[in-house]
């Protein structure tokens, strides 16, 4: 995933003696867009023109293979400018003006090496060069345009030909200029969209506004040696989870069993099926279900390796997982269950508590592994995650936790977490009703001790 974070040009001060009298900020700005573009809400590319004196070595009859290794660290590296250019009878080598302004700014050792190639002080000339919009990176342009006293655009996501941003309210006046910059600068971009609201509907897709480009939301991406096609406006997809999808799929081997409760368009399920696992993949969203089916077929996964469902996750667990799980437990197969719905997946763990009666469940030696995802808001995200499990699940899973892994940072103090749990027999045959009755009795006892009013407050905040 591309990022527009705080990356600063590292200045080698040992070789910029000519600039010691110039304020550091001015030096940094030398190769940045001009100040005139600050606050721009309509993109005017001509305003990015900026003349800078650039040191250029003008060379004749030289062997480049001997010279380039010496000068490599001094070369001017900006977009759409070749630092080594061949003229009719000369070679022009553009050097970074932040590093070199005069001959002595090149280290003595390097000057000696150049001297042996007949390159001397009089070969270096300072030549005015006009930098323009094409020479600046998207990061530099956005930082120059957007208000410096507020949080800028920290990142974007590319989904096939679509670049997706999530603009905070203070950036909305700049949305058109942001879109044009990304459209120009991100390779392969044909569409820029802004998420219009949070994901709060049943199907986990969000409303979006097309800021610029082609309104076509049908896109195709490659991930995990598979091709996924879908309508980005109607399904959930997050390219930042590519590495996590790969981590889980790598754990699976041919012949393993995967129950994917919230399969989406198939980032876990399709590559698992391609590895000849037996996959049971479910998603409530009819659009996701249709693309899930399409992606299995498009990636030529044998139909004997997958079973697809368009159901609520609770029903999928209580009906289909319950139906098929016992035979795999009895056979000693490796069973995995993925639950990637971080906003509420922990609630679905309750469906496994007491899923079977004791006599209907065979003994087994290989407990299934559940990979369940959640969000943790706060500094101690590991402890927060453990507490969320305790508060959400009606059965104590503390000794079933194999691992808690931070998948990625969503925002400041908000982490996406993956919890790995062993689905042991005592969970599946637990008397959930008795557990709930015990909890009710505990609340009643608190009421008796603390008084009715205080007891109500305790119950509400639990």
Binding-site residue numbers for S-adenosyl-L-methionine are 245, 283-284, 312-313, 340
Q: Contact, 248 vs 371, CB < 8 A?
A: yes
Going by C-alpha positions, the residue among 255, 246, 61, 28 that lies closest to residue 144 is 28
Question: CA 421 to CA 392: how far, in whole Å?
Answer: 15
Structure tokens at 394: 């009606």
| Count of residues in the chain | 462
Binding-site annotation, residues: 245, 283-284, 312-313, 340
Backbone angles phi, psi at 296, to 5 degrees: -60, -45
Q: Contact, 48 vs 40, CB < 8 A?
A: no
Question: CA 329 to CA 314: how far, in whole Å?
Answer: 21
Question: CA 97 to CA 53: how far, in whole Å?
Answer: 7
227's CB contacts (< 8 A; 6+ apart) are: 220, 221, 295, 298, 299
Backbone angles phi, psi at 58, to 5 degrees: -105, 110
SS3 category, 214: coil
Going by C-alpha positions, the residue among 274, 285, 281, 297 that lies closest to residue 225 is 274
3-state helix, strand, coil in the chain (%, to 5): 40, 25, 35
324's CB contacts (< 8 A; 6+ apart) are: 259, 280
Cα 411 versus chain centre, distance: 11
């Amino acid at each position: 995933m591309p990022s527009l974070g705080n990356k600063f040009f590292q200045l080698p001060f040992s070789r910029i003696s000519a600039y010691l009298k110039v304020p550091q900020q001015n030096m940094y700005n030398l190769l940045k867009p001009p100040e005139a573009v600050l606050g721009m809400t309509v993109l005017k590319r001509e305003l990015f023109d900026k003349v800078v004196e650039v040191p250029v070595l003008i060379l004749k009859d030289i062997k480049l293979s001997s010279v380039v290794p010496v000068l490599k660290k001094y070369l001017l590296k900006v977009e759409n400018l070749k630092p080594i250019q061949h003229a009719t009878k000369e070679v022009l080598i553009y050097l970074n003006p932040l590093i070199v302004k005069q001959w002595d700014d090149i280290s003595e050792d390097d000057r000696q090496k150049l001297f042996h190639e007949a390159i001397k002080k009089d070969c270096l000339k300072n030549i005015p060069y006009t930098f323009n919009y094409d020479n600046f990176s998207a990061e530099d342009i956005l930082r120059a345009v957007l208000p410096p006293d507020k949080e800028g655009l920290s990142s974007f996501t590319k989904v096939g030909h679509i670049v997706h941003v999530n603009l905070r309210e203070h950036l909305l006046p700049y949305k058109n200029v942001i879109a044009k910059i990304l459209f120009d600068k991100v390779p392969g971009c044909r569409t820029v969209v802004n998420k219009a609201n949070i994901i709060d509907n049943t199907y986990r897709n969000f409303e979006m506004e097309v800021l610029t480009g082609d309104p076509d939301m049908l896109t195709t991406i490659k991930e995990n040696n598979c091709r996924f096609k879908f309508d980005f406006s109607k399904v959930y997809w997050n390219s930042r989870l590519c590495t996590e999808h790969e981590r889980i799929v790598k754990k699976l081997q041919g012949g393993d069993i995967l129950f994917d409760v919230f399969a989406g368009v198939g980032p876990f399920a399709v590559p698992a099926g391609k590895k000849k696992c037996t996959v049971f993949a479910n998603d409530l969203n009819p659009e996701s279900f249709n693309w899930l089916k399409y992606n299995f077929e498009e990636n030529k996964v044998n139909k004997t390796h997958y079973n697809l469902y368009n159901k609520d996750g609770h029903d999928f667990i209580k009906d289909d997982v319950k139906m098929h799980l016992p035979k795999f437990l009895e056979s000693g197969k490796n069973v995995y269950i993925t639950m990637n719905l971080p906003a509420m997946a922990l609630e679905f763990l309750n469906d496994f508590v007491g899923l079977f009666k004791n006599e209907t469940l065979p003994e087994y030696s290989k407990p299934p592994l559940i990979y369940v995802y959640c969000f943790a808001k706060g500094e101690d995200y590991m402890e927060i995650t453990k507490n969320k499990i305790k508060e959400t699940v009606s059965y104590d899973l503390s000794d079933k936790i194999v691992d808690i892994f931070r998948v990625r940072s969503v925002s400041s103090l908000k982490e996406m977490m993956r919890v790995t749990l062993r689905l042991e027999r005592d969970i599946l045959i637990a008397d959930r009703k008795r557990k709930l009755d015990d909890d009710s009795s505990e609340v009643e006892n608190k009421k008796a001790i603390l008084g009715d009013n205080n007891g109500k407050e305790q119950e509400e905040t639990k």
